């Protein structure tokens, strides 16, 4: 049976896109445990192997059953369209220990023997300590495995949001959702999610958060339990090329026309990206990239659009024609 999310009239007004560094941190932990997720991330996994070996992930893995409930308090839906990790982990540390205990007990019950384990009993006896311990574990994963790569990850997530935001304007929510993932269906105000588990929820005016994820592939997550805002997490577009080496130099003809710096920036905008992401990708100072972006925008070769706290730049049709029509020397 699929999961079902029923939309009311007010829910259409409260749908939004978001991304979450905390979510990616949690999913990194899950990916390290599940070899079926390794395909797209093999290169990255080789690079972080030593750092991952230096972390004790056993506490987090205990709350990630193959089938069953993972605690919502430990990784709630994003609190804003572009919240930073520090803001999100502060919310985790502020979790109500009583509610966290009940949520954790439900998760432990889905892993054989976990409720009776020494760690499980200790958590349930002292939920305040449990909250601190698990928040510390997530923060360690963030700093060691995710933060160094966050500019690249965020650029991909922002590009996904930019693309699907345009499609939302073109085809509406009912047309967009089946495009996002083959498991999603839409009929008469109800979203169906064909995947493991069975769940039914009326959104009740809370709307829906649409959240792309790098590390959730090949899975999807269809909702969070009340009182959390319903959230749909899906694999981001373009993860197949996430860990590939940067594209080669800009074509010689484009360099001669625009100059090396501007040509490099325009060539790198195969997907929408922020100034910070482009600077990281090209190995340039953000101030230098910002100046090149301004010139390219003034020349009509790209446009900037604001998404939350970020401005994403993308090529205009003229910019696309220039990059597509200049053969490499």
Whether residue 15 sits in one domain with residue 108: yes
Residue 325 pLDDT more than 70? Answer: no
Cα 47–Cα 71–Cα 139 angle in degrees, nearest 5: 40
Long-range contacts of 320-327 (CB under 8 A, 24+ apart): 322/254, 322/257, 322/266, 323/251, 323/254, 323/266, 323/267, 326/251, 326/253, 326/254, 326/257, 327/251, 327/253
As given in the structure block, the two tokens for residue 258 are 């625009």
| Residue of 271 and 49 predicted with greater confidence | 49
Please state, rounded to an integer, the average pLDDT across all residues of the chain.
Answer: 87
Three-state secondary-structure class, residue 54: coil
Q: Are residues 302 and 175 in the same domain?
A: no
Let me know whether 81 and 218 are in one domain: yes
Residue 313, pLDDT above cutoff 50 = yes
pLDDT of 196 above 80: no
**Which distant-in-sequence residues (6+ apart) come within 8 Å of 291 by Cβ?**
none
d(CA 153, CA 277): 9
If pLDDT is split at 50, 70 and 90, which confidence band does 308 have? low
pTM of the model: 0.76
Structure tokens at 180: 């996002």
What pLDDT was estimated at residue 156?
Answer: 84
| Residue 245, pLDDT score | 62
- Verify that 134 and 274 share a domain, yes or no: no
Sorting pLDDT into bands at 50, 70 and 90, what band is 276?
confident
Q: Which of 34-43, 127-136, 230-239, 255-264 has the highest mean pLDDT?
A: 127-136
User: How would residue 166 be classed by pLDDT, with cut points 50, 70 and 90?
Assistant: confident
Mean pLDDT, range 4-18, rounded to an integer:
90
63 and 157 fall within a common domain: yes
pLDDT at 197: 65
Query: Is 170 found in the same domain as 92?
Result: yes
Q: Is the pLDDT of residue 81 over 60?
A: yes
Residues above pLDDT 90, as percent of the chain: 42
Crossing angle of helices 21-33 and 127-141, rounded to 10°: 90
250 pLDDT higher than 80:
no
Distances from the Cα of 56 to the Cα of 41, 53, 141, angstroms:
21, 8, 9
Show the CA angle centred on residue 216, arms to residues 215 and 221, nearest 5°. 155
d(CA 303, CA 301): 7
Is residue 265 within 8 A of residue 296, CB to CB? The reply is yes
Q: Could you tell me if residue 245 is inside a domain?
A: no
What is the domain range of residue 264? 252-324
Determine the pLDDT at residue 104: 95
């Amino acid at each position: 049976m699929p999961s079902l999310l029923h939309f009311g009239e007010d829910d259409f007004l409260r749908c939004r896109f978001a991304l979450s560094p905390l979510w990616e941190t949690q999913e990194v932990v899950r990916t390290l445990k599940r070899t079926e997720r390794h395909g797209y991330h093999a290169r990255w996994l080789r690079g972080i192997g030593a750092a991952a070996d230096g972390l004790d992930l056993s506490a987090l893995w205990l709350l990630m059953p193959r089938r069953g409930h993972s605690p919502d308090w430990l990784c709630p839906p994003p609190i804003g369209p572009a919240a930073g990790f520090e803001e999100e982990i502060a919310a985790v540390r502020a979790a109500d220990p009583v509610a966290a205990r009940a949520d954790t007990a439900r998760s432990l019950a889905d892993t054989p023997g976990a409720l009776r384990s020494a760690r499980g009993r200790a958590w349930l006896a002292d939920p305040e300590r449990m909250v601190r311990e698990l928040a510390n574990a997530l923060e360690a994963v963030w700093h060691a495995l995710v933060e160094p790569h966050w500019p690249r990850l965020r650029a991909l997530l922002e590009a996904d949001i930019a693309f699907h935001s345009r499609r939302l304007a073109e085809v509406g929510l009912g047309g967009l959702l089946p495009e996002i993932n083959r498991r999603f269906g839409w009929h008469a105000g109800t979203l169906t999610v064909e995947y493991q588990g069975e769940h039914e929820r009326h959104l009740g005016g809370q709307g829906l958060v649409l959240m792309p994820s790098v590390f959730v592939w090949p899975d999807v997550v269809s909702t969070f339990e009340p009182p959390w805002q319903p959230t749909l997490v899906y694999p981001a577009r373009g993860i197949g090329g996430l860990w590939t080496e940067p594209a080669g130099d800009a074509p010689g003809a484009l360099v001669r026309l625009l100059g090396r710096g501007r040509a490099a920036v325009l060539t790198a905008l195969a997907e929408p990206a922020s100034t910070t992401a482009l600077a990281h990708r090209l190995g340039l100072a953000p101030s230098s990239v910002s100046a090149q972006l301004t010139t390219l925008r003034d020349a009509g070769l790209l446009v900037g659009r604001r998404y939350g706290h970020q401005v994403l730049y993308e090529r205009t049709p003229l910019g696309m024609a220039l990059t597509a029509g200049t053969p490499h020397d």
